[in-house]
Amino acid sequence: MRRTTLQAAGRIALCAALLGGGLLGWGCSPKPAAVDAARLMAADKRPGDWMSTGRTYDEARFSPLNKINADNVGTLGLAWYADLDSNRGQEATPVVVDGVIYVSTAWSMVKAYDGRTGKLIWAYDPAVPKDKSVNACCDAVNRGVAVWKGKVYVGTLDGRLVALDAANGKPVWSVQTTDPSKPYTITGAPRVIKDKVIIGNGGAEFGVRGYVSAYDAATGKQLWRFYTVPGDPAKGPDHQASDPIMAKAAKTWTGKWWTLGGGGTVWDAMAYDPELNLLYIGVGNGSPWNQHYRSPQGGDNWLLSSMVALNPDTGEYVWHYQTTPGETWDYTATQHMILADLTIGGKPRKVIMQAPKNGFFYVLDRKTGELLSAKNFVAINWATGVDMKTGRPIENPDSRYYNTGKTWNANPGPSGAHSWHPMAFSPKTGLVYIPAQEIPFPYTPDNDFKPSSRGFNVGVDFGAGELPQIPEVKAAVKATLKGALIAWDPVNQKEVWRAQYAGPWNGGVLATAGDLVFQGNAAGAFQAFRADTGAKLWSMPVQTGVVAAPMTYTVDGEQYVAVLAGWGGVYALAPGELSFKSGKVPNISRLLVFKLGGKAKLPPAPPEMDIPLDPPPATAAPAVVAQGQALYARFCGVCHGDAAVSGGLVPDLRHSATLADPANFNDILLNGQRKLNGMATFKGALEPAQVDAIRAYLISRANADKLAAAAKPAGQSPQ
């Protein structure tokens, strides 16, 4: 026995030497992705690895590595890059174990690279049907993998949880975690706790009921499930871990919410405290958004928009804190949660921190859920503060648009004051770095709301919120769009510094012991700031918008910084031309890896194509165009862009050759002719006459923009 242990230790030492020398080989023990609880909890002893999406269970996204630091970051350069075989938004943080990078990309694909050379080791494609993207509110993205005991886990857009052999990328097991007949998706990274893979899902824009599940990491057997909103009372309890709390939660709902799903999806953030043995999940918005339809007599609607603590062994409820009772604005609390030990009022406190969409920065006691403080980190108008006695927001009554029947010009809007883009917390500075934004939105109740089998089901009239085609109004709306990297003092709840950007939807954040904060942005640059002052120390143009968070690792003693580049996500789709606020960036999806003195060069950026509009003449009656406008806003705009202007990820329909070919246009919308390209059929949701009206609207918009372009001096596009 002892001899075997010694032999094993010898092999590990030999392996470490081989790995240290960059001589990667799979014959070498330890096996690839050899991560377990002991190793992950001792992550700071081997800071060259990044073994979980947020690096550690506390999700601080802080690396103790400091070879790249505030003194030398000016010499940072590209070490290598890898082109990706997908051109949708890239939102994942790579994971690195023993010098191997494991990363997911758009369409839930996974790749493994040699961290030193960039050599592709394997690639896995779950072959997600492309038309499944119709059920993804916010692009065909994936936010990362988990690794555990030789396996790599990924959640797929069509709701599967797949375990891959880390040595070769071959599936070991796969389970369907959702009802495929319902509009569920998975975009979030799994976490592994005590040999259980924890995974949530999305779909609360369409009409689903949220939950999180645990699967046996070795076999894929489902171990527990926790629902976040109550189900149909007539069906009785779910016989799941959430039953006791759901019985209480049902008292906070009214009407027939279950017929519309209810929402509360757990589509992104989780954290884990091994000492308290608590798993924290962030719960999303109501489905539909408009509470009048979801829960007509009001109510807090537990557990929407809440941070929830669960026992990871059983999935049992421990506590929750609801950031937005009776939510009606898509104010999810799925945003990044960070665990830290802070001194507050002279006392050490174990806290959980979150900056959810609603604009408040929350600090809670993570053992009990007690609210310690809350302060808005950007300008907001839906509430004036949080009542520390009740823990509830002090709402502006005008913000409940379904009560007033009027448009509520809200800040934040549904994109949030902070969305999924990970923050970072540096224990050195004591600051949380928030990718913050201001994207106001006019909520207008949809008085005619009927759930549909296709498109958003939110009970808000998107047509009423369409950007008016009046230059002065456009300019005024664009001026309200803001983005900043904010360094926030969580103890004193105040801003310490900020890096102001031209617009919103900038990247996730990495903080390091090298006194640095790294962030990519919507203008196509990757940058480093001094963690204490915010001074910009380094910047490199990367040809595309960066929304994902960077990470850092070492191989052979050399420190690298890696980030997935590739513009995308909801802000590259739904807002149309407003998504160009920071400049018009293409999606060029790549894994970029930097080191000090790196000399690699990106190939020249492709030239920007400015294709003139060439629509058929607009002949439809104004009433038909108006009908088409409303239908476009309801069914098409969230992907193809507000006011028929595409953000660039999906076809700009003003340019479509099918505008002059009604039969072909109908075939695409109603018969799934371009299903394989990602265009789902809207059969059952739209009638042929409605499809004609949408086409008439697009022709009208294309002609209007063609005229506007002709009226402008050369070189200026209407966008």
Residue closer to Ca ion by CB (options 144, 202) is 202
Query: Which CA distances in Å does 50 have to 95, 551, 596?
Result: 5, 8, 19
Between 209 and 654, name the residue whose CB sits nearer to Ca ion.
Answer: 209
330 tagged catalytic:
yes
Annotate 469-527 with DSSP letters as a single string: S-HHHHHHHHHT-EEEEEEEETTTTEEEEEEEESSS-PPPEEEETTTEEEEE-TTSEEE
Compare residues 264 and 507 and give the one whose CB is closer to Ca ion. Answer: 264
The amino acid at residue 700 is: S
CB-nearer residue toward Ca ion: 330 or 652: 330
Judged by beta carbon, residue 330 or residue 466, the one nearer Ca ion is 330
Short-list 426, 260, 267, CA closest to 336 = 267
Minimal distance, residue 419 CB to Ca ion, in Å: 9
Least gap, CB of 284 to Ca ion (angstroms): 6
Distance set, CA 623 to CA 64, 628, 630, 652 (Å): 62, 9, 11, 23
Cα torsion at 377, 210, 295, 317 (round to 10°)?
-80
Closest distance of CB 588 from Ca ion, Å: 27
Q: Give the number of other Cβ atoms within 10 Å of residue 394's Cβ.
A: 10
Contacts of 414 (CB under 8 A, 6+ apart): 289, 329, 330, 357, 441
Within 13 Å, how many C-alpha atoms sit on residue 36's CB side? 6
Q: Name the residue with tokens 């900043």.
A: 484
Under DSSP, is residue 81 helix (H, G, I), strand (E, B) or coil?
A: strand
Contact residues: Ca ion, CB under 5 A:
285, 330
Smallest distance, Å, CB 578 to Ca ion?
18
Residue 342 identity: L
User: Torsion angle of alpha carbons 289, 140, 582, 381, nearest 10°?
Assistant: 10
Q: Are strands 509-512 and 62-63 parallel, antiparallel or unpaired?
A: parallel
CB of 264 to Ca ion, least distance (A): 10
**Cβ nearer to Ca ion, comparing 51 with 138:** 138
Give residue 235's identity as a one-letter amino acid code: K
Instruction: Give the number of other CB atoms < 10 A from CB of residue 99.
Output: 22
Query: What's the CA gap between 149 and 97, in Å, rounded?
Result: 11
215 vs 449 by CB, closer to Ca ion: 449
If residue 691 lies in a helix (H) or strand (E), which one and from where to where? helix 688-711
Query: What are the distances in angstroms from CA 554 to CA 101, 550, 562?
Result: 11, 14, 11
- In order of 58, 129, 277, 373, 430, the CA distances from 352 in angstroms are 9, 38, 14, 11, 14
Measured from the CB atom, is 330 or 558 closer to Ca ion? 330
In whole angstroms, how large is the CA radius of gyration of the chain?
Answer: 25
411 vs 101, 247, 396, 442, 585, CA distance in Å?
39, 34, 12, 9, 25
Q: Which residue lies nearer to Ca ion by CB, 431 or 460?
A: 460
Question: What's the closest the beta carbon of residue 421 comes to Ca ion, in angstroms?
Answer: 15
Task: Give 302 or 497: the residue with its C-beta nearer to Ca ion.
Answer: 302
Contact criterion met (CB below 8 Å) for 300 and 252: yes
Nearest approach, Cβ of 298 to Ca ion (angstroms)?
Answer: 20
Which is closer to Ca ion, CB of 330 or CB of 692?
330
* Sign of the alpha-carbon torsion through 705, 706, 710, 716: positive
| Phi and psi at residue 511, to the nearest 5° | -115, 145
Shortest distance in whole angstroms from residue 681 CB to Ca ion: 24
Query: Min. distance of Cβ 527 from Ca ion in angstroms?
Result: 29
Q: Catalytic pick from 98, 158, 268, 330?
A: 330
Smallest gap from Cβ 579 to Ca ion, in A, equals: 18
Question: CB of 328: closest distance to Ca ion in angstroms?
Answer: 12
Reduced DSSP (H G I as helix, E B as strand, rest coil) percent helix, strand, coil of the chain, to 5: 20, 30, 50
Q: What is the largest CA-CA distance in the chain?
A: 87
Could you tell me whether strands 392-395 and 431-438 are parallel, antiparallel, or unpaired per DSSP bridges?
unpaired
Report phi then psi at 477, rounded to 5.
Answer: -65, -45
* Residues with catalytic function: 330
